[in-house]
Amino acid sequence: MMNILIIEDERSSADCMKRMIEGMGTEYKIVAEVESNSQVRAFPKERHPDIDLILSDIQLVDGLSFDALRDAPASIPVIFTTAFDHYAVQAIKFNSIDYLLKPVDEQELRSALERVKDLHEDVPTSTTDAIAQLLDSVKSQSIRYRELFLIPSRADEYLVVPTSDVSHVTIQDGVVRLYTQKGESYLLAMTLDQVENELDPQRFMRVDRQFVVNAAAVEKLSNWFLGKMRVHLKGYPDTQIIVSKEKATSVKRWLDF
């Protein structure tokens, strides 16, 4: 049996991977789930021998997972998952480290697990060195996030909306709309997934399936029913954003980071 540790701060993604892995049979077992670098560092060292594989998101709410994983046992192989494709893929695919783009395809995940299983009897003891090199490689790259939105205004004009002016972006009935901190709104010819992936995750967060919000636009948080939480936005008192109990901790950590 292969024991798996999942590192993922997006509850829906973690649940999706969990369902896929559980559907692959009893040879795979998820023994623990964590959602931040701080939790990775706090993971009990006495449990390390129980872990055969780490399945980790790259961009966590408190930074890149490479940073915490460089202190993980060198013998544990890692499969990274991410919605971003501007990391050094070539650097990741060596020394038992693999890489999957989100949304994770079940067959690609199965193939990655099979490769780890084939190597399991003779795993190189260099995973930690590989992650350290990868971290250095990523830090040396210039990762660019979207700084503005170019929005059609008239037949021959476009409005420029800096991302710093954005309050939130939401989807309703399949239509994606951007709202500024000045109360303006514009239609976007993008999916909400695209918006989320192109914005700086330290400044913007997808707090639920419908809303990507700017941290600078959050006025306050308040407790809601059944452990949920409401996000209040400056200038939008009637916009009701309810965060799930599972996501609430990540949102608070993101705003307080």
The segments of the chain whose pLDDT lies below 50 read 88, 90-91, 93-96, 123-125
Q: What are phi and psi of 51, to 5 degrees?
A: -100, 125
The per-residue pLDDT for 246 is 78
Beta strands 204-206 and 63-64 are unpaired
* Global pTM value: 0.56
Max intra-chain CA distance, the chain: 64
The per-residue pLDDT for 93 is 47
Question: Tens digit of pLDDT for each residue in 73-93?
Answer: 777 888 888 766 555 454 454
Q: Contact, 96 vs 122, CB < 8 A?
A: no
Angle at 24 between CA 23 and CA 29, to 5 degrees: 90
The per-residue pLDDT for 140 is 54
What percentage of the chain's residues is helix, strand, coil (to nearest 5)?
Answer: 35, 35, 30
Q: How many CB atoms lie within 10 A of CB 225?
A: 8
CATH numbers and ranges of domains, the chain:
2-140 (3.40.50.2300), 148-255 (2.40.50.40)
DSSP sequence for 72-131? S-TTS-EEEEES---S-HHHHSSTTEEEEESSPPHHHHHHHHHHHHHHGGG--TTHHHHH
Beta strands 97-101 and 211-214 are unpaired
Q: What are phi and psi of 210, to 5 degrees?
A: -105, -20
Question: Tens digit of pLDDT for each residue in 155-169?
Answer: 788 999 999 999 999
Q: Among 176, 173, 215, 218, which Cα is nearest to 195's? A: 176
The per-residue pLDDT for 18 is 93
3 state DSSP class of 200: coil
The per-residue pLDDT for 117 is 79
Calculate the CA dihedral of residues 32, 36, 37, 40 and round it to 10 degrees.
-10
Q: Contact, 168 vs 207, CB < 8 A?
A: no
Q: Contact, 95 vs 70, CB < 8 A?
A: no
Measured CA distances, 40 to 36, 44, 112, 206 (Å): 6, 9, 22, 22
The per-residue pLDDT for 94 is 40
Q: Map 121-173 to HEC letters.
A: HHCCCCHHHHHHHHHHHHHHCCCCCCCEEEEEEECCEEEEEEHHHEEEEEEEC
